Structure 1
Amino acid sequence: MTRLPESGLPDGRSPSPVHVWLVPTPVGNLGDITLRAIEVLRHCDAVACEDTRRSGQLLTHLGISRPLVRLDAHTMNRAAGVLEQYPRLAYVSDAGTPGISDPGAELLRLALELGGHAEVLPGATAFVPALILSGLDTGRFTFEGFLPRSGRERRERLKALTERPETTLIYESPHRLHATLEELAALCGPERLAAVTRELSKKFEETVRGTLPTLAERFAAGVKGEIVIALQGAPAQAQTVPDEGFAAQAAALAAEGKSLREVRELLQASGLRKNDAYELALRAVQADAAPDGQD
C-alpha cells in the first residue's frame, strides 16, 4: 500500500486547510475493515471517535498508533479546535459507517465550511445487510434510525412510519425491542411482516422473520446485541380508524388506573375489534403515564 501524499489528497492536488475522512469500522467481525480504511487510519494526524476505549481497541488490533480524540454528540463543540490541531483527521463511529446516527455528518460539514476537503470511505454498515436478510422488498426503503424514546414525538413517528408503503429500517436497543415490537403490532395489525436482525457478522448473528405479534412474543424474554428491525411497508388500503367514542372511553379507563389489558378487554367488550382495541388501549395508557408537560 502507498502512503498518502503530504497534502492528504490521493491525486496530488494542492494542500487544503483541513482534510476529514469518515472511515467505516466493522459492525462485528474485525475482518470487515477495508485496506483503504487501514491506510487512512495509519497515516492521518489523529483519529476522532465516539468512544476512545472502543476505538483504541480497534487500532491496537490493527497495529496502528495514532492520537485518539473524543468527538461525540456532547463534545462536538470542540471540533474546530481539533481540526486546527489535527488538520488531517479521520473520524470513526463505534461501529459501521459514520455520519448516520452519530456526529460524523456534523464534522464533515464543518470541514467543508472551513474550506477543507472531506471523503467518506465505503464500508461496513448494519442496515443494508439487515434489509437484504429480512426478505422484504428492497426496491424502496426508508432508514428511520433510532426512534424517540417516549412521549408524543415517539407516538407520532411510529404512526407515520407504519403508514409508509416501503420497507422501513429501525435501529433499536435490546431493552426496548419488545416494547417497540408490541407498539408496532398494535399500529399495524396482526398480519404485518417484519424481521429482527441482531449481532450482524458476529458469532451469534441471527435474523428472525415473521408477523409483528409473533416477533413480539419471540423476544418477550429479552435479547442481547445490536438490533435492526425491518418493517414491511403498509398495504395499499389503510385500515379504518376507530371512532372518537372509543378513544374517549379508552382515555377515561386509563385515567381510572386500568391496566393495558383491562382497557383492551373493556373496549373489545364494547364491540371494538381486537387490534383496534389494543392500539387505543396502548395509546391511552401511555398518554396517561406521560409526565406533566409531556404528551
Structure 2
Amino acid sequence: MTADSGILVLAGTPIGDVADAPPRLAVELASADVVAAEDTRRLRRLTQALGVQTSGRVVSYFEGNEAARTPELADALEAGSRVLLVTDAGMPSVSDPGYRLVAAAVERGVRVTAVPGPSAVLTALAVSGLPVDRFCFEGFLPRKAGERRSRLADVAAERRTLVYFEAPHRLDDTLAAMAEVFGAGRRAAVCRELTKTYEEVRRGGLGELAEWAAEGVRGEITVVVEGAPEQTVVLDAGEMVRRVRVREEAGERRKEAIAAVAAEAGLPKREVFDAVVAAKNAERSGA
C-alpha cells in the first residue's frame, strides 16, 4: 500500500426501510471524492431521504459497465481518491457489482474497508426459523430449467442451511424444482419485501410453497432452505449403480441420476460416479 493511495469504501444501503441506513453512510456520501452507484437515480432518492448532499463526482457502476469502468476507478484510487461504492440495496459485491473493483484495489495495494449495513441474506436467515449456525449463500439460480436443476442437484446433500435470491416471476418454477430435487417436505421460508411495508415470511415444505407461489408473487424475494438431513440410507457400490441405472432408464441424464443418488445417500457425487465407472469397466472386461 503506497502512502498516497486512496481508499475504497463499500457501503451497505437499506434493503427496504431507509431508516435502517447506518449513520456512517451519510458521512461517507458527503465526503467521498467519487461515488460509484449501481443506479444514480436511486442514489439521488437515497441522498434526499437522508438529507445529505454528495460533494464528489457521481458515476454509474452496474453490471453492464462494471468491467469497463473498473480500471478508471482503480486509477482514481491509486491516485489518492476516496471512492465510495453503493448498490441499490444491501452490501456491494454480494450478488451485486463490486467484486471486480475490490480485486483491482487489492491488486494495486489500495486499502479496502466497509460501512456495514443491512443484508437481505442475514435478515432472511434470522427470521426464517431455520438453523442459522451454519449456512451457505447460493445467490441467484440459473434461468434455464436444466441448468437450474443441475445446480440444485450439486447441493442436494448439503447439510448447511441454503440461502437464495430469486426474481418473483421465476419463484414458482424455482420452488417446484427445489421440491423435485430436495424433496417436497424439505422445510423452507420465502421472505418477501423484507423491512418494507408489505413484508411477508411464508414458511412450509417446498411442495406447499411451490403451490402457493404458483398463484403469483410480487416483490424482492429471498428463499431460505433447510439443509439436507443426516444420512439415513446406506448404499453399497452395487446398489448405487442399480439406482443410477433405474433413473437413466426412466429418462434422466447420467449426471443428474448420479447427483440424485448421491443426495439420497448423503454421499459426495464423486463416490457414486466412481462406482458407476468401475461397474462399466468391469462389464467391458467381462468380470
- Normalising by the smaller structure, the TM-score range is 0.7 to 0.9
AA aligned to 2:18 is L
Equivalent of 1:217 in 190, 196, 211:
211
1:123 to 109, 117, 137: 117
1:248 matched residue in structure 2 = 249
CA distance in 1, matches of 2:177, 2:147: 14
3-state SS, counterpart of residue 64 of structure 2: coil
TM-score w.r.t. the length of structure 1 is 0.75
**Equivalent residue number for residue 261 of structure 2:** none
CA–CA separation in structure 1 for the residues paired with 2:87 and 2:169: 22
Contact kept? 1:17, 1:114, Cα under 8 Å: no
CA contact (8 A) 1:182 1:213 kept: yes
Equivalents in 2 of 1:82, 1:243: separation in Å?
Answer: 51
Partner of 1:20: 8
RMSD of Structure 2 on Structure 1 (CA): 2.4
The residue that corresponds to 1:236 in the other structure is 230
Deviation at 1:75, TM superposition (A): 1.2
Gaps of 5+ in 1: 1-12, 253-275, 277-295
Residue aligning to 2:143? 149
1:40 deviates by 0.8
Structural mapping, 1:1-295, within 5 Å: 16-66=4-54, 67-76=57-66, 77-85=68-76, 87-150=81-144, 152-237=146-231, 242-250=243-251
CA contact (8 A) 1:44 1:90 kept: yes
TM-superposed CA distance for 1:249, in Å, is 3.6
Query: More deviation in 175-184 or 86-95?
Result: 86-95
CA contact (8 A) 1:16 1:116 kept: no
> Residue 74 of structure 1 aligns to which amino acid in structure 2?
G
User: Displacement of 1:251 after TM fit?
Assistant: 6.1
On the 8 A contact 2:36/2:58 being kept in 1, the answer is: yes
Distance 1:237 1:132 in 2: 26
Indicate if the aligned counterparts of 1:45 and 1:88 stay in contact, CA closer than 8 A: yes
Number of paired residues? 241
- The Cα of 1:230 is off from its aligned counterpart by 0.6
Q: Identity of counterpart residues, as a percentage?
A: 38
Report the CA distance between 1:63 and its aligned residue: 2.7
TM-score by length of 2: 0.77
Does the 8 Å contact 1:18/1:111 carry over to 2? Answer: no
CA contact under 8 A between 1:56 and 1:68: conserved in structure 2? no
CA distance in structure 2 between the partners assigned to 1:81 and 1:210 by the alignment: 47
Q: Which amino acid aligns with 2:156?
A: T
In the TM superposition, residue 148 of structure 1 has moved relative to its aligned partner by: 1.5
Distance 1:167 1:150 in 2: 24
